[in-house]
Copies of this chain bind each other. A is one copy, B any other.
Amino acid sequence: MTTDHTPATAPIMVGIIMGSDSDLPVMQAAADVLDELGIGYEMTIVSAHRTPKRLYDYADSAVSRGLRAIIAGAGGAAHLPGMAAAITPLPVIGVPVKTSSLSGQDSLLSIVQMPAGVPVATVAINGARNAGLLAAQIIGSADPAVLARISAFKQALEEQVMHKVERMAA
């Protein structure tokens, strides 16, 4: 049903889904950061509007398949993250994909303004890299080894800034 992009030793813990393959250039960044952090994931297309049953099955089986979080990206009237969150008890991270007419303002509001009882952890418009990082933080919340990798990741960010500081000063 989905593709594994996981090193042999890393179990699949994160599901990355998107409504259309046109969202892949944005959503790939979520996969990339999970690769960097050594966290196993699967990535596939699930459309709330074109494959509603597939969405139900995907989200309903997520716990039993061992997933620990779902990242869902969608644009416009973006229902994929919220509908996934309606079905699974796992944390769902929503990525509002930028749209051509409203620049993702529609995506953002469609994802973040969920009613009480069904949260979606929303990141910035096109913020798929942060979605991947947030999934890692969720896993790291209970796994000191992963948390240490995130601390190292943050340390590396700081070092990159300091490197740029020096280059600007040169």
Q: Is the C-beta of A91 less than 8 angstroms from some C-beta in chain B?
A: yes
A55 to chain B, nearest CB (A): 9
A143 to B143, alpha carbons, bound, how many Å?
Answer: 11
List the 5 closest pairs (A to B, CB-CB), nearest first: A142-B142, A121-B121, A119-B130, A106-B109, A76-B113
Residue of B whose beta carbon sits closest to that of A69:
B141
Q: Which residues of A contact B (CB under 8 A)?
A: 1-3, 19-21, 24, 29, 43-45, 47-54, 56, 63, 68-69, 75-79, 82-83, 85-87, 89-91, 93, 98-106, 108-127, 129-131, 133-134, 137-143, 147, 150-151, 153-154, 157-158, 160-162, 164-165, 167-169
A156 to chain B, nearest CB (A): 9
A153 to B21, alpha carbons, bound, how many Å?
Answer: 20
* Residues B49 and A168 in contact, CB atoms below 8 Å apart: no
